[in-house]
Amino acid sequence: MEADSVTRVQVQGLRARMLTAGLLAPLVIAAVLMLPTAWFAGLMALFVGLAAWEWSGLAGFDSALARAGYVLSTLICLLLLWDAAPRGLDAFLLACAALWWLALLVRLGLIHRIEPAPPTEPLLLLLGLLVLSAPWLALVHLHGLQGDGPFLALSLLLLIWIADTAAYFSGRRFGRAKLSALLSPGKTRIGVYGGILAAALWGGVLALALGLPVVKGSLLVLICVVTAVMSVVGDLFESLLKRRRGIKDAGSLLPGHGGMLDRIDSTTAAAPIFALGLIWLIGGP
């Protein structure tokens, strides 16, 4: 009876997750393809602002005034990044974010115990400015590219969604060995492999759609694979922050997903990697 109850809860959670995704995905896709870059940047800033509110909670700040102030600070940071992009600083800033995520990949593998978080963490607020602004900058940069910009921005989002969905279902069906029982007991190694395979296939489709030659097409597949791996890092990092606070979700805004931060955690790490890869690939000979 208890097992049946758990299964029923899981099915209900999956239904809520799919319903929310089914409602949001068409709206996001339409926004990416139809909005000019300035309006798209504004819409993405709204999502980042919601995530910033939740991030301040993960940092231990409960005051509505303090959290609103952090949201405002984050939005000001995005405005400064919008001004930096025309001067060619976006690639440098994305590289800084990518290096931090690569370092975190190593750091997460060395964690053997999760210490409770202190009451408040001001330094985590500063880190949040990097974590939340970098994916916004990556998407806005891609969207603003001449010609295929909106298509490339959408391709990044689709890559993350495809890899995440493949990891979820392959892990549930075939997964046994845990990827990291300490940080995220629900993730399995088979699930990660399934997500990587799906990312590689999507990379091949994207290379064909862009008409890339074999060498550049193969490099694009590699970029998609690395992006899928880093999306897992973003997910695990948010899981670490939540476990330090003893909470399951960062918020309750999106049924079946939790908060906005729970929805975009993979994107925080994946977007800078993908955008940097595209900047290098497109800019190459």
Q: DSSP string of the chain?
A: -HHHHHHHHHHHHHHHHHHHHHHHHHHHHHHHHHS-HHHHHHHHHHHHHHHHHHHHHHTT---HHHHHHHHHHHHHHHHHHHHHGGGT-HHHHHHHHHHHHHHHHHHHHT----PPPPS--HHHHHHHHHHHHHHHHHHHHHHTSTTTHHHHHHHHHHHHHHHHHHHHHHHHHH--SEEETTTEEEEEHHHHHHHHHHHHHHHHHHHHHHT--HHHHHHHHHHHHHHHHHHHHHHHHHHHHHHHHT-S-S-SSBTTTBSHHHHHHHHHHHHHHHHHHHHHHHH--
What is the model's pLDDT at position 87? 61
Which residue pairs from 15-23 have beta carbons closer than 8 angstroms and sit at least 24 positions apart in sequence?
Answer: 15/256, 16/255, 16/256, 17/255, 17/256, 17/257, 18/256, 19/255, 19/256, 20/254, 20/255, 20/256, 20/257, 21/161, 21/256, 21/257
State the angle between helix axes of 189-210 and 214-245 in degrees (0 to 180), rounded to the nearest 10.
140
What is the model's pLDDT at position 73? 96
What is the model's pLDDT at position 21? 63
What is the model's pLDDT at position 79? 93
Which distant-in-sequence residues (6+ apart) come within 8 Å of 30 by Cβ? none
What is the model's pLDDT at position 85? 65
Domain of 97 in residue numbering reads as: 2-283
Distance CA 180, CA 183 (A): 5
What is the model's pLDDT at position 3? 47
Query: Residues 267, 132: contact at Cβ < 8 Å?
Result: no
What does the buried/exposed string (b/e) look like for 72-85 if buried means 16 or more CB atoms within 10 Å of the residue's CB? eebbebbeebbeeb
Block mean pLDDT (10 aa), the chain, length 285: 48 60 81 94 95 95 95 95 74 91 91 90 95 95 90 95 92 84 87 96 95 95 97 94 89 72 92 94 63
- Number of domains composing the chain: 1
Which residues is 178 bridged to in the sheet? 188
Write the burial class of residue 171 (CB in 10 Å: 0-12 exposed, 13-18 middle, 19+ buried): buried
Closest of 8, 17, 12, 31 to residue 256, by C-alpha: 17
What is the model's pLDDT at position 220? 97
What's the whole-model pTM score? 0.90
What is the model's pLDDT at position 25? 80
Query: Residues 48, 132: contact at Cβ < 8 Å?
Result: yes
